[in-house]
Amino acid sequence: MRYKIRSMVGRGQVEEQVKAPKGRGRPRSFDRATALEKALMAFWEHGYEATSVSDLTRIMGIGAPSLYAAFGDKRTLFEEVVRVYADTHGAFVGRALAEEPTARAAVERTLREAAVAYTDPAHPYGCLVVHAATNCTSPEIEELLRERRNRNIAALASRIRADVAAGRLPAGTDATTLARHTGAMIQGMSQQARDGASREELEALAEIATAIWPRD
């Protein structure tokens, strides 16, 4: 067990580095958060299995023992990467859900922002949670992201149900299907981005996708 350093990124102010908890032995020669971000990019682009430990050590600029000391094994590193991704690059979904007044507005904004995020040339295309653990030798890793995907859809469904209960959507509205449709659109858009679709094309997709919502 190894002490946690706050890997908070883009989460309010940066609160200028607690100078590392002044440990006792030889100080780490690399910035942990920076190395973690490099690992994130690698996993994002190539997925869990296709990113080897030697890929990681090369990209992160550290030796294998340093990686294992700082992050545990490959699987633990990946789990941390997924957590960081969800709190940063993948946070726009939860933000829309929390900030928009209606489920419909939240979904529209989510799809619109997904079109931008998934085609941003500053990082790999598409969504890490959607793509980084398909065709995996270890079922636990696959399950890790599958649960995250299904949890997102479930959260969206309950948000929609709340709107139905509040009369903001027609009484007969199928919240589950509507939520699943949004999930499918996000996954489809992510794949399209990986297959070369442009931001404009995904935005057009996002726009017509909301036509399925019940007329109010």
Partner DNA sequence: ATTTTTATGTAACGACCGATAGATAACTCA
Partner DNA sequence: TGAGTTATCTATCGGTCGTTACATAAAAAT
Q: CA separation (Å) from 111 to 49, 63, 70, 149? A: 29, 40, 36, 15
d(CA 182, CA 9): 27
# binding residues, DNA (CB under 7 A): 26
- Write down the least CB distance from residue 19 to a second copy, Å: 38
d(CA 93, CA 104): 13
Residue 187's CB: how many other CB atoms inside 10 A?
Answer: 17
- Write down the least CB distance from residue 191 to DNA, Å: 24
2 or 172: CB nearest a second copy: 172
d(CA 5, CA 197): 38
Which DSSP category does 195 fall into?
T
Encoding tokens for residue 52? 């080897």
DSSP states of 101-164 as a string?
A: SSHHHHHHHHHHHHHHHTT-TTS-SS-HHHHTTSS-SSHHHHHHHHHHHHHHHHHHHHHHHHHH
Is residue 30 within the footprint of DNA (CB under 7 A)? yes
Is residue 205 within the footprint of a second copy (CB under 8 A)? yes
Which among 38-46, 65-73, 147-155, 156-164 is the span making contact with DNA, rule CB under 7 A? 65-73
8 or 154: CB nearest a second copy: 154
99 or 216: CB nearest a second copy: 216
- Write down the least CB distance from residue 216 to a second copy, Å: 15
Task: Identify whether the C-beta of residue 179 lies closer than 8 Å to the C-beta of residue 160.
Answer: yes
32 or 194: CB nearest a second copy: 194
Task: Identify whether the C-beta of residue 189 lies closer than 8 Å to the C-beta of residue 118.
Answer: yes
- Write down the least CB distance from residue 207 to a second copy, Å: 8
d(CA 170, CA 82): 36
Q: Which does 165 bind (CB under 5 to 8 A by kind): DNA, a second copy, none?
A: none
2 or 215: CB nearest DNA: 2
Here's the x/- map for a second copy, 117-156, by CB under 8 A: it reads as -------------xxxxxxxx--------x--xx------
Give contact residues for a second copy (rule: CB under 8 A): 46-50, 130-137, 146, 149-150, 174, 176-178, 180-181, 183-189, 191-192, 194-197, 201, 204-205, 208-209, 211-212
Give contact residues for DNA (rule: CB under 7 A): 22-30, 49, 51-55, 62-66, 68-70, 73-75
